[in-house]
Amino acid sequence: MSTLEVEPGAAPESGLVTTDTLDNFDEMSCSLEEIKNINPSIEDEESNDNAIINEHFDETVSNDNEVASVDDDFELNKDWIGKDKHVFVLSMAGKPIYSRYGNEDKLAWLFGVMQTLVSFIQSSDDCIQSIHAGNTHFVFLVKKPLILVTVSKTRESESQLRIQLNYVFNQITNILTLTRLNKIYEQRQNYDLRRLLSGVERLIDHLLTFSENEPSVMLGAVQCLPLAASVRDTISSAITGACSKIKNLVFAILLANNKLITLVRMKKYCLHPADLHLIFNLVQASESFKNSESWTPLCLPRFDASGFLYGHVSYLSEDCQACLLLLTVERDVFFTLSEAKQKIVEKLRRSNCLEAINESLSTPGESSASAGFVEIRHYLYKCKSTSQFYQPILSPPYTQTKEPLTRIYKRAHHRLHNSSRPLKLMFERSADEAILAWDTKGFELFVVFEPLIDTSAAIMLVGRLLNWIKKKEERLFHLNAPTF
């Protein structure tokens, strides 16, 4: 179909971990230990941290319960039953931790049922995976020390649902670290985790919406803010310049509007797209970062689930709403990083990069029709080696609601990656649209056409489209993988 030698968006080196869809989510690395070993001066906080957890275990009475009694009886509520997708998190002991809708305390009976199911199957040395009843899927993810369950009527596949549950697990790890999570339940099987997760429900809600509506989670990839290569390079070197002397800085991430502007990293270390998604989610869901510089611990589970990184988080300036995160393994270097941030902003201002970012943010982007592909309604292109993807802006008939489009992509994606019968290429036509999905070694492509297109025209267009993306790749992808 195409005559390209190298797929668009590919680069010799990538700052993001290469992903193939449905990669093994259990894999965790232990990068923190390595970094700390290089710099043994970094104090380890785990020990005193722990003492503090214990001390406060019983102290604060959560007043959630009082408020709760006013709520409706959610479990009896038609509205509640009619929800497209429920997500529940509970402890191995069956204690409620999170419910996407309704109040967990009212649903205690339901959590009890779920826990019983899991332990019943476990008692015969097996693990419950899923239950299917009509078009409702019950998918279970048993991931010590938590049980995650989703009840979905969304037509997403079991593996797609499982990925979402994994993301929820990672979100909880992101807040607490896996080490602390395990320790808590080792000390008290019956611990009510909601105490520690107060405020995190919002993050999980947000993450679920994100994983349902944005293709990034399904693709395991990140979209970049379109910028001239020279601008992106200037931004990266402004960051390297200001940070190169700072020890123990692991990642510098600049993002805006859920798109990556640049990622600068410590030599040898890469960021997993799933971790970057958690960062996007945190930034998007935390209005408080907008008002001042912040300092916050966060754990990137794919990078290292055992401990925290510390992040200096701030928006570049009043007049440029891009968010900069400087992540380090040291807990006490806020002021060093704050100073570095000032330098970065000054440099970006002088080199007109703030304007360039603003300009890209304020231009709506190209639709596939305006790029000359009138028969193509929309497409997703993912470059596997750099874990980045590109999509044009929405055009009719998907501008009113994106939902049908999302559904088409999820279905096609499932067809390609169906573990029992994976496909490399599929073309399917319905009364409403035609879709071509193509999985190659280097990329994944999903193209939605007008319904009347014939196969040969579709194939020809795909070739042209790939050439077009290739020509624009410098602008659409982050092709460098700068290090400090």
Partner 1 sequence: MKHIVGKVVLLGFQGVGKTALVTRYVENSFHRQIAPTVGASFFTCKVEADGNMVTLQIWDTAGQERFKAMAPMFYRNANAALLVFDLTSQTSFESIKMWVQELKGNVDEPMMLCMVGNKIDLNDQREVSREQALAYSQSIDATYLECSAKTDQGVGLIFQKLAQGLLRLQGLTSTLKVYDDDIMANSSELEATDTANEETVNVSIGSIAHGNTVNFGKCC
Nearest to 276 by CA among 345, 330, 224: 224
DSSP state of 387: T
Angle at 321 between CA 316 and CA 326, to 5 degrees: 40
Distance in angstroms between the alpha carbons of the first and the last residue of the chain: 40
205 is a site residue for partner 1 (CB under 8 A): no
Give the distance from CA 200 to its chain's centroid.
15
The least distance separating partner 1 from the CB of residue 26, rounded to whole angstroms, comes to 24
Cβ atoms of 469 and 8 within 8 Å: the answer is yes
Q: How far is the CB of 338 from partner 1 (least distance, A)?
A: 4
Measure CA 421 to chain center.
27
The amino acid at residue 422 is: P
Burial 364-393 (b: 16+ CB within 10 A, else e): eebbbeeeebeebbbbbbbbbbbbbbbbbe
Binding residues with partner 1: total (CB under 8 A) = 41
Burial 250-265 (b: 16+ CB within 10 A, else e): bbbbbbbebbbbbbbb
Helices 273-285 and 200-213 pack at an angle, to 10 degrees, of 120
283 φ/ψ angles, rounded to the nearest 5 degrees = -65, -45
Site stretch for partner 1 (CB under 8 A), options 195-203, 373-381, 425-433, 444-452: 195-203
Residues of this chain, 28-47, that bind partner 1 according to CB under 8 A: 45
CB of 298 to partner 1, least distance (A): 8
Could you tell me which residues come within 8 angstroms of residue 4 by beta carbon, excluding any fewer than 6 positions away?
466, 467, 470
What is the smallest separation between the CB atom of 305 and partner 1, expressed in angstroms? 16
293 is a site residue for partner 1 (CB under 8 A): yes
Q: Which stretch binds partner 1 (CB under 8 A): 5-13, 51-59, 114-122, 268-276?
A: 51-59
CA 233/CA 230 separation, integer angstroms: 5
Q: Does 334 bind partner 1 (CB under 8 A)?
A: yes
User: Nearest distance from residue 467's CB to partner 1, in Å?
Assistant: 44
Given 237, 321, 338, 483, the residue binding partner 1 (CB under 8 A) = 338
Contact between 443 and 436 under an 8 Å Cβ cutoff? The reply is: no
Cβ distance to partner 1 smaller for residue 23 or 201 = 201
Chain-centre distance for alpha carbon 447: 23
CB of 52 to partner 1, least distance (A): 5
**Residue 60, interface with partner 1 (CB under 8 A)?**
yes
Q: Is 349 in the site for partner 1 (CB under 8 A)?
A: no
Q: Is 484 helix (H, G, I), strand (E, B) or coil?
A: coil
CA–centroid distance for 282 within its chain: 10
Q: Which of 27, 58, 126, 287 binds partner 1 (CB under 8 A)?
A: 287
Q: Tokens for 59?
A: 């102290």
Residue 182 found at the interface with partner 1 (CB under 8 A): no
Binder to partner 1 among 27, 58, 59, 125 (CB under 8 A)? 59
Q: Nearest to residue 21, comparing CAs of 389, 459, 288?
A: 389
By CB under 8 A, residue 175 contacts partner 1: yes
Binding part of the chain for partner 1, among 101-109, 279-287, 321-329, 412-420 by CB under 8 A, reads 279-287
Q: How far is CA 157 from the centre of its chain?
A: 18
Within 177-285, where are the H helices?
178-187, 200-213, 215-219, 229-243, 273-285
Residue 398 engages partner 1 in binding (rule: CB under 8 A): no
Does residue 53 belong to the site contacting partner 1 (CB under 8 A)? Answer: yes
Based on the shown chain and the rule CB under 8 A, indicate whether residue 198 belongs to the binding site for partner 1. yes
- DSSP code for 386: T
CB of 261 to partner 1, least distance (A): 21
User: Using CB under 8 A, which of 63, 135, 362, 456 touches partner 1?
Assistant: 63
Q: Do the Cβ atoms of 295 and 312 come closer than 8 Å?
A: yes
- Out of 123, 135, 291, 362, the only residue in the binding site for partner 1 (CB under 8 A) is 291
Q: How far is the CB of 294 from partner 1 (least distance, A)?
A: 5
| Residue 442 interacts with partner 1 (CB under 8 A): yes or no | no
- Cβ at position 328, least distance to partner 1 in Å: 12
Q: Is there binding between residue 69 and partner 1 (CB under 8 A)? A: no
Q: Which is nearer to partner 1, 61 or 76 (CB)?
A: 61
Q: Does 333 sit near partner 1 (CB under 8 A)?
A: yes
| The binder of partner 1 chosen from 37, 58, 61, 456 (CB under 8 A) | 61
Which of 83, 153, 195, 411 contacts partner 1 by CB under 8 A? 195
Taking contact as CB under 8 A, which single stretch among the options 9-17, 54-62, 140-148, 256-264 is the one that binds partner 1?
A: 54-62
| Rg of the chain (C-alpha set) | 23
Chain positions contacting partner 1, by CB under 8 A: 45, 48-49, 52-53, 56, 59-61, 63, 175-176, 195-200, 282, 286-289, 291-297, 311, 313, 331-336, 338-339, 342
